[in-house]
Structure 1
Amino acid sequence: MSNFLQLVDRPIAFQRSFVRLGVGITGALLLSQIVYWQNRMEGNWFYKTQTDLEEETGLTRYEQEGARKKLVSCGVLEEAKRGIPAKLYFRVNQERLEELLLGENQHAGMGKTNKQGCGISANSDAENQHAGMGKTNKQGCGISANSDAENQHAGMGKTNEQSCGNSASIHTVDYQETTQKINTENKYLGASAEADTPKVKSSTDYSPAFEEAWQAYPKRSGGNNKLSAFKAWNARIKQGVKPETMLEGVKRYAAFMASEGKIGTSFVKQAATFFGPDKHFDEP
């Protein structure tokens, strides 16, 4: 390899499976970089400027804004302005991301139909890759049979597999910062921390207290998964949180979003996040 090629050898980690979210290449690239930084912030909110992200990903201001809008609407990216002057902080909604990538349909009709969410394509890039083999790749959980992260460099590192029944795997690659080389451990896309909560088969299984809170919760664009919210609600109940406490939190939050004129927008938190481990319902 020439010295020039070694000089320009600065790979950006790109999780190929993020394209299935329907956010395009720019959205998948930006989300890959945000996931990279959140892992290094131990899942906490982190601050990045538009200039920082452009330096790291090559995405222009307008490309970033378009990608962010899609990711927020999809529910996998959360944004918050903090401080004076205000700075934009980011965090990935892990529950929503797992829900879209792994798919709830793994529990119903895995081998029959592919359910789509947030623009996830039912078609696979792996389709018709091996003409003449005479066999069809079966898929489950709505994930492609070949959902590899982009292999930009041979020998970058071994990949780990996350099995989902008989479905294909999602691979991860070693990440590298744009300023210096950092080898990181590959991690599985884990199952939700609240996966042990009861599965709801119909609306009649929702508790009356949750139904009251759900009706009071501010509407949002981009969807708001009721089942995921109920799982988070039940998890807090198991921790000893009273339903009345969460209901009062919902009412305060709805009043605040109404005063800000943001009801019906993507700025409204996913209910699963609101009832999640961070306990946003306790915020004044």
Structure 2
Amino acid sequence: MEQKSQKPAIGFIGTGVMGKSMASRLIRAGYVLHVYTRTKSKAEPLLLEGANWHDTPASLAEQSQIIITMVGYPHDVEELYLGEHGIIHHARPNSYLIDMTTSSPALARRIEQAALGRGLFSLDAPVSGGDIGARDGKLSIMVGGRREAFDEVTPVLKSMGTNIVYQGGAGAGQYTKMCNQIAIASNMIGVCESLIYAQKAGLDPSTVLKSIETGAAGSWSLSHLAPRIIGGNFTPGFYVKHFVKDMKIALESAKEMNLELPGLALAHSLYEKLVELGEEDSGTQALFKVIGGKSPAVS
């Protein structure tokens, strides 16, 4: 108990598919955790584990030395940090603010400037690894901001991830996450097309997967999401609607660089079709439905 009291109090905002597991990892690591989410019922499992509930982000900020946010969209991040009743206006001096949402690099830089103006430190630290990585504490965490702030909060990040890399100044974490999403976007097309091809050739997709997932075609998506597709499981490890948001951010930032990304543009258009089909709350593997496949589980 004495060791627990020496650790900084952490505020956690956003207890969705990944956030709830990330917050749970912090409780199990011995941190006193304060939580807020717009729908209190989503935080109930954490409250049962010992987390402290707050009715507003401002109240949470006043009780926390480190504040972590894991929400849906850049406009949510902007409101939480820069709004009239936002975190920056209520956080204690010398607090550390860690936004783990996949968001805009430009917004990360704005947050850092506002934070520094009030004696606070901010980091943009988006993650990759999906629901499984969050549950197992094996997320990849890519971090932008001041190096000294990164060094200070690294023990906290280690409670949630295993591959924690400092990428550079404010916004660098978000740019790195865009690289991650760009690679995944085209890869998901390949995973779906591969399974469809196997199906049309009269092969057993599960047996095909045994041959190709450990070879040159291997990827996280092939190993973790292809089995879900084969089993007809399209529940979200990561929501389609959030992936569409990420791809839009990447395309917008690429445009600012005068850079064309045809693979990403194609993936974005296919995922938008998936949204039109009402699949925005499905997992990203639901792309299989748009490309023309029929789930092997129901064929």
Instruction: Give the TM-score normalised by structure 2.
Output: 0.30
Greater percentage in helix: 2
Greater percentage in strand: 2
Greater relative CO, 1 or 2 (CA 8 Å, sep 6+) = 1
